[in-house]
Structure 1
């Protein structure tokens, strides 16, 4: 049997996307395509989001999660039915989880008001944001979050253009569902988990349990603590995703895997923080237009053939099903 060595997600220079060298741009497309065919995970450097804005978001995350619980609960996501706001520990769990996730989070998205058609239709994750009023400067907090969301979605759309080129499609192929998306910026806080006694010991505790993301593409900023792991199918092992300051971890979601008929991968990943330090990360989930119907691309596109593996499904229906399931699982585990 050939010796198979696990390969960590590659680090890809995204600068050629904004440059004028066609050869460098083609090389970027090829690198991203290779990563999507492998694990659906890669890191990008030299992207379009300002480092100062990234740093400002981490500053806000530190301030928010340091608030007393009674202040955080003033923006409790349970105050609405579209999952905007604060979620305390043990709120979510995924298939195979032994315990609910050991994390806190707060979610923001496009600030869709009650008269927006997405809100009127009760689409998943669509509604007004709950911005905390207990932070030092609430107005600046809101402005920074909104500015960051716009910048992160701009970069996510650039990634989608590269994905399209890698599939042999027109660069703007995905623009139809990317213009007015369901999107979430999630600030995350992970306490350090206690070490487990014994060699290879595992008590089932996870900051985030093993799962795949639901939408099209995720952009994640890590701090310097680490703990994110991606599963390598070839070696049946978990690989650490080493933090790189100001880089983004990019991973594909289930909608992309469905659309490409399993050609591109929605990578299984988890977070285990046994560093002895608290960990912060900030994710941006791009799920596309909630009314967009995800269908497998026609045969031959992107080198994929064979029968369609997935039936058509709207983004909203898929997100609703997966999100609801994660909360139901957590409730069941918390009750045991």
Structure 2
């Protein structure tokens, strides 16, 4: 059996170098973009100890991604692959809507293999998303092996369905893979739009009936609407009302807030409120990451004195 966890959460998945054209300018900004690293950074912003695991190209973009993520206090375990490049994406935003163009068909992360297992031990949670199995046949096999082969590890698996139609050959293939992975996770995040496409329903009880087995927990997200938790009990919490600038990264931020609150021992309602709090900070900006978090604003979200975090949060190690 493992010793006490070193990290609160370990995440695994591809992060690309994202190129953004600056508003009313000919200048471009380059920053990291990846669902799993977004979650790791969000958790680090909240004082949780996190690690991000991946594979990067042996190029300048790989160096940029590595250093940018590490600068947030995340432990980065992403070896460099000299044979394949770091994935790239170009993000265009017009009137509040974003369009993304990917250059990742030969990216290093598509070639991740079981060598990553060496970096996955020693955490409370391992967070994965449905993006990774969509990258290639090998990463699909890797994701299944990680979720289904946890013998000797104490961590629980959090799985965000994160259905990206453009990455899959068809909806049927995606549903077959993602539903099976969700059924093996301890905690599942799914949007109501994803559930309608993959399961044919937006009803939380129906979604739970199709996905959950014994001792699993489900979070159904509804964008600007309420999020619902189904586990030993069922509760819902409304989203915060904010001006929406760009929704990219909102689901990742929600997951980071929820997982942080779980690590603090908060109850399900408080975890949902923390998820909404983090998501609201992201949709109000053009960045995939929200601004730095003021710790004084966190305790009120717990909702009860018994659920509030300790005075000393866990720190990155």
Common topology (TM > 0.5): no
Higher relative contact order (CA 8 A, sep 6+): 1
Q: TM-score, normalised by structure 2?
A: 0.25
Structure number with the higher helix fraction is 2
